[in-house]
Every structure is written in structure tokens, then in C-alpha cells.
């Protein structure tokens, strides 16, 4: 796999003014990085339209943080794939651990959203990850396999070409997350690659697997050199463009 995916989810952090300023800086940075990096940002809903306008005719991609699976209906507070398609998003983040934890989203919910996104040619970025208790009980692989198999149910091999998978161990993300050892990440990503191969055959070999778990300036190179890590999903270390620039420049030199 020649290209790597590198991006960040802003969560609930930036105002419109802050988001536009960040995006303009990132567009400037993107002009000097390797074309082998697929660069993306995932703003809050209020920023989707102004960010879309800011990245027009650039190589920066944009996603949204969540969506409903229905095109329309009485779902107060939700946003539909039809609405996001109208804005012109490139990808949709689905199944983040915070959505699972705070809003009780299940793998079956995520599956409906994956299928809806594919129906609109929006690339699903499906987040999976085990929590601390599951890791301590040595059921990480069982948990991850279940999340993948349910979330991707009824996705055919042709559609699987559009998938992105982000492995984000719940115990490693967030302000107080533990650092995931690169050997552990290698073991899990190899297992995920094997599972995707079982689901989609040869197509599964090429589905990008991103790692996101307290990725920062000190450890990102360790992770990107792990076999079957095809990109990085970065949190706080990418929320400031100066910090993100350091990471992107080093990755650019690495991938050529």
C-alpha cells in the first residue's frame, strides 16, 4: 500500500473562527507534503460548510463526526447522509468510542450507518477498539472481531474498497490514555488484517488500517513503521497546526 492516511477529529473543540484559521494554516502546510499522504480533518457540524469552502481545490479531505442512517425523519438533533452529501463531505467517522460510551451506539447501529454512507459514496471511517477491562480479560481480539463483523455486515467486496478502519484502543485514547506499545499494535493490526481477509478476501488486504491511540510527536514514527498500520488518526497533537506540521513533515519525508 503506497499511500498513508493521516487525519484528526476535532471533537467539540473549535469555533467557526478558530476552525477556519486552522484550516487555512493546514492548507498551506499541505502544499509542501508528499502526495502519498491522504490528509483529512473532521470538524464539528457548524464548521462543515465554511471548512468545505476553505479546502476547495486543495488536497485536504473533510469528514463529519457522525450521522443518522435515514435520509430524513423525526430524529431531533441528528443529521442525515443526504444532508452531508449535499455539503460535499469525503468521509464519515462512525463508531467512535465516545459515541458508543455516551450515546449507547451499538455495532448494529454502526452497520446501518456504514451502509447508508456507502449508498451515498461517502467513505466510512469505522472506529473500533477494546476497553481496559476487555484487554485485561484477554478478549481484545474477540471484541474487535465482533465489532468488525457486525459493523460491516452486508458490505460487499466492491464496497469494501471504500472502507477505512481506525483501531483506537479505548484504554489508550484521551487525555489520560495509556501508551500502546508498538508490539501490541503490530499484533492487533495483523489480526485485523486477517479478519478483513476473512470477510472480503483479497480486497481485505488493501483496506487501510489506521491507528489512533494517544499518537503524539514522540511516538508517531514508531506506529507508522508497524506492519499493517496504513495511517494515523491523531487527537490532541493535531489540534494545533504547529504540532501537526512537525508530524506531517516527518511523515512526508518517510513516505517520499
**Where in the sequence numbering do the catalytic residues fall?**
96, 168
> Which residue intervals of 31-139 are DSSP H helices?
48-54, 81-87, 97-103, 107-119, 132-136
Q: How far apart are CA 90 and CA 147, in angstroms?
A: 23
E-assigned strand segments in the chain: 4-9, 37-42, 60-64, 91-94, 123-128, 164-167, 209-211, 231-234
Answer yes or no: are the C-beta atoms of 231 and 6 closer than 8 Å.
yes
SS3 label, residue 243: helix
Amino acid at each position: 500500500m503506497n499511500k498513508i492516511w493521516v487525519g484528526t477529529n476535532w471533537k467539540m473543540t473549535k469555533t467557526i473562527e478558530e476552525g477556519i484559521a486552522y484550516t487555512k494554516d493546514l492548507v498551506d502546510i499541505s502544499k509542501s507534503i508528499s502526495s502519498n499522504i491522504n490528509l483529512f480533518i473532521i470538524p464539528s457540524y457548524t464548521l462543515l460548510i465554511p471548512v468545505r469552502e476553505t479546502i476547495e481545490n486543495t488536497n485536504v479531505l473533510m469528514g463529519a463526526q457522525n450521522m443518522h442512517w435515514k435520509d430524513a425523519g423525526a430524529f431531533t438533533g441528528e443529521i442525515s447522509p443526504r444532508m452531508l452529501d449535499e455539503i460535499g463531505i469525503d468521509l464519515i467517522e462512525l463508531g467512535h468510542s465516545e459515541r458508543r460510551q455516551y450515546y449507547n451506539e451499538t455495532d448494529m447501529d454502526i452497520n446501518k450507518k456504514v451502509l447508508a454512507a456507502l449508498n451515498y459514496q461517502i467513505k466510512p471511517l469505522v472506529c473500533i477498539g477494546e476497553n481496559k477491562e476487555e484487554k485485561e480479560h484477554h478478549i481484545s481480539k474477540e471484541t474487535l472481531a465482533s465489532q468488525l463483523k457486525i459493523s460491516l455486515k452486508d458490505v460487499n467486496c466492491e464496497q469494501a474498497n471504500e472502507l477505512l478502519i481506525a483501531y483506537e484502543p479505548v484504554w489508550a485514547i484521551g487525555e489520560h490514555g495509556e501508551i500502546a506499545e508498538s508490539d501490541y499494535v503490530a499484533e492487533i493490526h495483523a489480526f485485523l488484517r486477517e479478519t478483513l481477509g476473512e470477510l472480503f478476501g483479497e480486497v481485505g488486504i488493501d483496506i487501510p488500517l489506521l491507528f489512533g491511540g494517544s499518537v503524539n510527536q514522540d511516538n508517531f514514527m514508531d506506529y507508522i513503521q508497524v506492519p499493517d498500520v496504513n495511517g494515523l488518526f491523531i487527537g490532541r497533537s493535531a489540534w494545533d497546526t504547529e504540532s501537526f506540521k512537525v508530524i506531517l513533515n516527518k511523515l512526508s519525508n518517510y513516505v517520499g
